[in-house]
Structure 1
Amino acid sequence: MIQLATFLTAYVFLGIAHGEGCKDNATVGEVLAAVQTETYFLTGTTNKSREACSFLSGTGLTEDCVSGTPVTYGYKNGREWVNNTDVVEKPEKPDRFPSRLSGPLKGMRVVARGENCFTLRKQNETEVWVAVSAVDVSTCCKEKLEKKFKDNTYATTYEHGVC
């Protein structure tokens, strides 16, 4: 019985560590709820001009997880951190961030959400954001990005030990 419990525990843990259960077409509210609990770093992007150590975090989650929720985004410029805060109002479409935002979420559509990651897309730009606690493990979002861009035409802004 103990062996079975150990096997099941290991199986569940490995499933979580690899980000099993990516949900397609998640909502803005789900992304906002995620960044409230942990900082997310940009670990995969087709926009190769993105700044080093790009991150998202949130504070002050509103009741409906959308309207009026402040989101802090930023990056590292040399040794200095550059931070900005934008307030996300309720979007017209539940899976798309408003286009009036000024940061990296501007007009992005949520295409997938895992336990510790989410994938955003706008026109020819695709981005994978991963929770700081999971940047060193495989996630379902990263696996989807790698399947889509098999020739590795994407970049990362996260560098372990720097960010």
Structure 2
Amino acid sequence: MEVIFIFFAFFSVIIVASLVAYNDYKISKLKENIRSQIKDLANNTLEITPEEFFQMRNQSFGGKGRALYANKYNFEGVYILYNVSKDLYYIGQGKQVLNRVNSHFTGKGNGDVYADYKYGDYWTIRMISLENSGFRTLNDLERHSIDTYNSYEKGYNKTRGNKSNA
């Protein structure tokens, strides 16, 4: 009887360990797929410098009192600010992404991003629209983008869940 109990206990441990390993594998594959999706989205967007961004943002549709490009084409999504000089990322979200990106490069957003920009670091900007991204919420798109670019540990995003600089 004791041998049977030991056998079943050992067998149970093996089953549980196998299920845990399989679950870890599935989670790892899911994270890998999400990272790939984020990178595909980012790679299929225009990459511009802050100077090109300002030029685009300030374009008018002609005539006095005409709307600026940024006012007409603002969108809900995520932006990826990349300090090429330091290999650091800042990921943020906004219901009006063009306004949020503008704030970081005009001193009204993340102070570290602005300081590095003003001191002459070379930057690029990518923006991902929530619409047709495959994500349901801005928070999901932003969270997975931050994870993909590791911008908590090696970037300007300081703490998880801190939206004060987003």
Max Rg structure? 2
TM superposition score normalised by structure 1: 0.29
TM superposition score normalised by structure 2: 0.29
The structure carrying a bigger helix percent of its residues is 2
The structure carrying a bigger strand percent of its residues is 1
Larger RCO (alpha carbons 8 Å, 6+ apart): 1
